[in-house]
């Protein structure tokens, strides 16, 4: 029994046919269409292996994984993602239990890679997509890894907030915000006004650009943050 969750028909079919072909012993393959549904189905069916798309309506793949692992910690999880975004690796790291078994494959993976990942997780190993390996390394590197303080500030400037607005929102002084931003710029390797005259940058926008490029943040995550933000400001009035 294998459970797969993806909101797109095309991807479900692709995965289902791939699994029925290569893993006839593990049939049937059950399907879910969103995050909430897959949590419910997993609770009933207790499958040894679950495929989760990250981007799903109602409940993201990561949050779904959290809930499933809460009640059934021995479930093997394989995340499917369109991008090698660092945000997700970041979040996944927190959710997955220390000795949990999981895989992470990008959607542009070849069929062989998916089969390989499935075999690995079924036999109790982890399988991380080659492209992600580098990201994980960077996530654990002191010099380039962002702290939560820097990450918060990054999200705020990406939403277009001023220093003052950020300070008010995070209950800090403007100086503290600027301090966070300064170290953020340093870690992203953005030159300041003084050095390297040939490349003049607006550090604020440059930071957003580079962070998006590296997958530290992405649009859908930012949209979530913004809706949270507007809810809070409504509640406070």
**Of the residues 4, 157, 172, 181, which one makes contact with its own copies according to CB under 8 A:** 157
If contact means CB under 5 to 8 A according to the sort of partner, which of DNA, its own copies, none does residue 194 touch? DNA
Instruction: Find the angle CA(109)-CA(132)-CA(116) to the nearest 5 degrees.
Output: 45
Of 42-61, binders to its own copies (CB under 8 A) are none
**Joined tokens for residue 19:** 């699994």
**Of the residues 128, 136, 149, 222, which one makes contact with its own copies according to CB under 8 A:** 222
Instruction: Find the angle CA(225)-CA(226)-CA(228) to the nearest 5 degrees.
Output: 65
Task: Tell me the residue length of the chain.
Answer: 237
Q: Does 9 bind its own copies (CB under 8 A)?
A: yes
Query: 126 vs 32, 68, 121, CA distance in Å?
Result: 23, 18, 6
Neighbouring CB atoms inside 10 A of 118's CB total: 24
**Of the residues 39, 56, 80, 158, which one makes contact with its own copies according to CB under 8 A:** 158
Query: 138 vs 106, 145, 187, CA distance in Å?
Result: 18, 6, 12
- Residue 225 CB, shortest distance to DNA, in Å, is 17
**Of the residues 125, 223, 224, 232, which one makes contact with its own copies according to CB under 8 A:** 223
Q: Which is nearer to its own copies, 25 or 200 (CB)?
A: 200
| First CA to last CA distance, the chain | 51
Where along the sequence are the contacts to DNA (CB under 7 A)?
142, 147-150, 162-164, 172-176, 178-183, 185, 192-194, 200, 202-204
- Residue 194 CB, shortest distance to DNA, in Å, is 4
- Residue 108 CB, shortest distance to its own copies, in Å, is 6
Three-class SS of residue 228?
helix
Interatomic CA distance for residues 117 and 61, integer angstroms: 18
Question: Residue 187: which H helix or E strand, with range?
Answer: helix 174-188
Number of chain positions touching its own copies (CB under 8 A): 37
- Residue 169 CB, shortest distance to DNA, in Å, is 12
**Joined tokens for residue 24:** 């006839």
Q: Does 173 bind its own copies (CB under 8 A)?
A: no
**Of the residues 140, 148, 219, 235, which one makes contact with its own copies according to CB under 8 A:** 219
Beta-ladder partners of 4? 31, 51
**Of the residues 29, 54, 207, 216, which one makes contact with its own copies according to CB under 8 A:** 207
**Joined tokens for residue 132:** 């992600």
The footprint of its own copies (CB under 8 A) covers: 8-11, 13-14, 107-108, 110-111, 157-162, 164-165, 190, 198, 200-210, 212-213, 219, 222-223, 233
């Amino acid at each position: 029994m294998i459970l797969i969750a993806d909101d797109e028909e095309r991807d479900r079919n692709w995965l289902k046919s791939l699994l029925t072909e290569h893993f006839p012993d593990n049939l049937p393959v059950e399907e879910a269409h969103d995050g909430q549904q897959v949590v419910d189905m997993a609770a009933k069916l207790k499958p040894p292996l679950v495929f989760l798309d990250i981007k799903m309506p109602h409940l993201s793949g990561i949050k779904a994984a959290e809930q499933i692992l809460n009640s059934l910690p021995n479930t093997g999880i394989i995340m499917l993602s369109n991008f090698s975004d660092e945000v997700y690796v970041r979040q996944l790291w927190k959710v997955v239990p220390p000795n949990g078994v999981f895989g992470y494959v990008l959607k542009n993976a070849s069929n062989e890679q998916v089969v390989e990942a499935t075999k690995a997780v079924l036999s109790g190993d982890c399988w991380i997509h080659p492209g992600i390996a580098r990201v994980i390394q960077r996530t654990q590197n002191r010099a380039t890894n962002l702290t939560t303080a820097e990450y918060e500030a990054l999200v705020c400037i990406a939403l277009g907030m001023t220093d003052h607005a950020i300070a008010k929102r995070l209950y800090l002084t403007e100086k503290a915000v600027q301090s966070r931003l300064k170290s953020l710029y340093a870690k992203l390797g953005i030159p300041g006004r003084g050095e390297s005259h040939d490349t003049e940058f607006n550090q604020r926008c440059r930071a957003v650009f580079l962070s998006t490029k590296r997958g530290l943040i992405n649009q859908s995550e930012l949209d979530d943050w913004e809706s949270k933000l507007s809810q809070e400001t409504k509640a406070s009035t």
